[in-house]
């Protein structure tokens, strides 16, 4: 039997890329590839890229530069670029990096086997179309292999919101939801393979409106049906837009036990003037009222968010409004970024804030967010929660997993296996994790 070919995939950016990389590995499995953890022995290298900020996009070119030697030593090596940089800069990548054999955009992954067959030996393959067909249904999977206890499941892709700073509507295209039955059958399949927690993914996941047997289903309806799947213990979803957080979904947070008390709900800024310029279509006040309603349904929910500082024309006063919003909401987890101008987006035309001022604001915001995160984490000490154990910890005899609120928790005890869901009491709050004992 021929040796299997080796595939090395490196994934950048969001969780949707993680899901896509898994699907691409499965698709290339049909072409005789098995995954390897090192680029050095690979027959094919695939970079699954992110275009959200300039720095993320630049990484692709520096990473490709590092593969020059490998390609020289092994001319048969195929190098591919997938993801949002492929979508946005496919032709330019081919021009700047002649070693690249294949470029595939996020909507064309189901064509990867055919592209792989076509590329190499000097031949190039490029596909950055937005085809009509459902790529996930066209991706042929390998025989079912066992899975770890947690998995991502993309249910919705693309975005119609057009925030003024964001490339997603251009790289991922218009909002599309997968039919509900397909999602349910993929979830059942994951559970049969050992998965106990599923995170539903979408760029605007709470705008989900997938076809069901009786009209379109909302995300809340999908979650309620998923909760009926035996063996599936936990459901999460990300990322959500405030304007799509409807009453039904808020109610589900109070009523569906399997839906975890964690919500990532980016607001980006606390200044109404900036929110308007960002085309967010909500105010800081409406966001705060929304969180009040969510907390009324599920009082212990942990709020997470995204912020951009230094958006064009942001003043010190606008930034103060962002700090005030953070003080009011109290976040358990946050991501904050300095504005990065993205070619082709409306905000790219506008004058930049002084970079030193933007850096300074980012530092001040991050100090506040870190303090809040730490306070909320510290407040878990003494409380009981359930942990889904995912892997061995760094210390011998230790197992690590996630709490309901998505805190990393580790426990030193005998008899805990990967995939176990156990009740624990939190005993200590460390810089990036919690210690606990079984109860």
The answer to whether the annotation marks 334 as part of a ligand binding site is no
- Closer CB to ligand 5AD, 243 or 433, in the complex: 243
Q: How many Å apart are CA 427 and CA 17, to the nearest integer?
A: 35
Residue 268: CB minimum distance to ligand 5AD, A: 6
Contact 106, 203 (CB under 8 A): no
Name the token pair of 164.
Answer: 């003024």
Cβ nearer to ligand SF4, comparing 159 with 249? 159
182: helix, strand or coil = helix
8 Å CB contact between 75 and 66: no
Options 154-162, 317-325, 362-370, 375-383: segment touching ligand SF4 (CB under 6 A): 154-162
Shortest distance (Å) from residue 92 CB to ligand SF4: 22
For residue 14, the minimal CB distance to ligand SF4 (Å) is: 10
> Max Cα separation, the chain?
68
Q: Is 204 in the site for ligand SF4 (CB under 6 A)?
A: yes
CA dihedral 68, 73, 74, 79 (to 10 degrees): -10
Shortest reach from residue 372's CB to ligand 5AD, in Å: 17
Neighbours of 146 (CB within 10 A): 8
Helical segments of 30-130, H only? 54-66, 68-73, 83-96, 112-118
- Backbone conformation region of residue 330, classed left if phi is above 0, alpha if psi is from -120 to 50, else beta: left
**84 labelled binding-site residue:** yes
Kindly tell me which of 67 and 287 has the beta carbon lying closer to ligand 5AD.
287
Query: CA dist 319 to 175, 217, 270, 316, Å?
Result: 31, 39, 7, 5
- For the bound state, the minimum distance from the C-beta of residue 295 to ligand 5AD, rounded and expressed in Å, comes to 21
* Residues in region 325-344 near ligand 5AD by CB under 6 A: 337, 339-340, 342
Supply the minimum distance, in Å, between the C-beta of residue 382 and ligand SF4.
Answer: 37
Can you name the residues that pair with 75 across neighbouring β-strands? none
Per-residue contact track with ligand SF4, 106 to 145, x per CB under 6 A? ----------------------------------------
Cβ-contact 152, 201 below 8 angstroms:
yes
Site string for ligand 5AD, 113-152 (x = CB under 6 A): ----------------------------------------
Q: Which one of the spans 113-121, 142-150, 161-169, 229-237 is the region binding ligand SF4 (CB under 6 A)?
A: 161-169
List Cβ<8 Å contacts ≥24 apart for 62-68.
Answer: 63/10, 64/93, 64/97, 64/99, 64/100, 65/97, 67/39, 67/99, 68/99
Spatial contact of 46 and 80, defined as CB atoms under 8 Å apart: yes
The answer to the question of whether 14 is labelled as a binding residue is yes
* Residue 53 found at the interface with ligand 5AD (CB under 6 A): yes
User: Could you tell which of ligand SF4, ligand 5AD, none binds residue 203, using a CB distance below 5 to 8 A set by kind?
Assistant: ligand SF4
77 belongs to the binding site for ligand SF4 (CB under 6 A): no
In this complex, which beta carbon is closest to ligand SF4, that of residue 64 or of residue 278?
278
Partner interacting with residue 161 (select from ligand SF4, ligand 5AD, none; CB below 5-8 Å by kind): ligand SF4
Interacting residue with ligand SF4 among 23, 161, 273, 383 (CB under 6 A): 161
Shortest distance (Å) from residue 242 CB to ligand SF4: 9
Q: Is 306 in the site for ligand 5AD (CB under 6 A)?
A: yes
Query: 424 and 385 in contact (C-beta within 8 Å)?
Result: yes
Residue 159, interface with ligand SF4 (CB under 6 A)?
A: yes
Q: What DSSP string runs through 321-381?
A: HHHHHHHHH--SEEEEEE----TTSGGGGSPPPPHHHHHHHHHHHHHHHHHHHHHHHHTTT
Check binding of 203 to ligand SF4 (CB under 6 A): yes
3-state secondary structure of 46: strand
Distance CA 116, CA 31 (A): 9
The piece of 105-113, 159-167, 187-195, 346-354 that touches ligand SF4 (CB under 6 A) is 159-167
Binding partner selected for residue 155 from ligand SF4, ligand 5AD, none, CB under the kind-specific 5 to 8 Å limit: none
Please give the helix or strand (H or E) that residue 212 lies within, else none: strand 211-212
User: Could you say whether residue 51 binds ligand 5AD (CB under 6 A)?
Assistant: no
In which element (H, E) is residue 302 found? strand 302-309
Tell me which of ligand SF4, ligand 5AD, none is bound by residue 204, counting a contact when its beta carbon lies within the kind-specific cut-off of 5 to 8 angstroms: ligand SF4
- The footprint of ligand SF4 (CB under 6 A) covers 159, 161-163, 166, 168-169, 203-204, 241
Residue numbers belonging to the annotated binding site for [4Fe-4S] cluster? 14, 50, 84, 159, 163, 166
- The footprint of ligand 5AD (CB under 6 A) covers 52-53, 165-166, 266, 268, 306, 308, 337, 339-340, 342
């Amino acid at each position: 039997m021929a040796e299997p070919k080796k595939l090395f995939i490196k994934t950048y950016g969001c969780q949707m890329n993680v899901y896509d990389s898994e699907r691409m590995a499965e698709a290339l499995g049909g072409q005789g590839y098995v995954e390897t953890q090192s680029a050095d022995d690979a027959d094919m290298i695939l970079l699954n890229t992110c275009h959200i900020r300039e720095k993320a996009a630049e990484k692709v070119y520096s990473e490709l530069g590092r593969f020059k030697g490998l390609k020289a030593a092994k001319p048969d090596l195929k190098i591919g670029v997938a993801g949002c940089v492929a979508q946005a800069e496919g032709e330019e990548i081919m021009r700047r990096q002649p070693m690249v054999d294949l470029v595939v955009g996020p909507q064309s992954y189901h064509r990867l086997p055919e592209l792989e067959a076509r590329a190499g030996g000097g031949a190039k393959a490029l596909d950055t179309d937005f085809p009509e067909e459902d790529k996930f249904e066209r991706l042929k999977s390998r025989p079912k292999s066992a899975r770890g206890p947690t998995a991502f499941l993309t249910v919705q892709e693309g975005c119609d919101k057009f925030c003024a700073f964001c490339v997603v509507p251009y790289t991922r295209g218009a909002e599309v939801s997968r039919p509900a039955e397909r999602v349910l059958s993929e979830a059942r399949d994951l559970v049969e393979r050992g998965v106990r927690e599923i995170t539903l993914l979408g760029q605007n996941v709470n705008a989900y409106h997938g076809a069901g047997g009786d009209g379109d289903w909302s995300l809340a309806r999908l979650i309620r049906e998923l909760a009926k799947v035996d063996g599936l213990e936990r459901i999460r979803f990300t990322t959500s837009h405030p304007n799509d957080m409807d009453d039904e979904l808020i109610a589900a947070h109070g009523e569906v036990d399997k839906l975890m008390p964690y919500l990532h709900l980016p607001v980006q800024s606390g200044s109404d003037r900036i929110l308007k310029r960002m085309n967010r279509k909500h105010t800081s006040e409406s966001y705060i009222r929304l969180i009040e309603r969510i907390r009324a349904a599920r009082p212990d929910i942990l709020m997470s968010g995204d912020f951009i500082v230094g958006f064009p024309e942001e003043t010190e006063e606008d930034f103060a409004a962002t700090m005030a919003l953070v003080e009011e909401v109290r976040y358990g987890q946050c991501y904050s970024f300095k504005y990065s101008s993205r070619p082709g987006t409306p905000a790219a035309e506008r004058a930049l804030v002084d970079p030193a001022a933007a850096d300074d604001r980012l530092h001040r915001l991050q100090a506040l967010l870190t303090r809040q995160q730490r306070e909320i984490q510290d407040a878990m000490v003494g409380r009981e929660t359930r942990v889904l154990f995912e892997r061995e910890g760094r210390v011998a005899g230790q197992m690590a997993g996630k709490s309901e609120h998505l805190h990393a928790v580790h426990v030193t005890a005998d008899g805990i296996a990967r995939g176990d869901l156990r009740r624990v009491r939190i005993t200590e709050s460390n810089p990036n994790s919690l210690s606990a004992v079984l109860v």
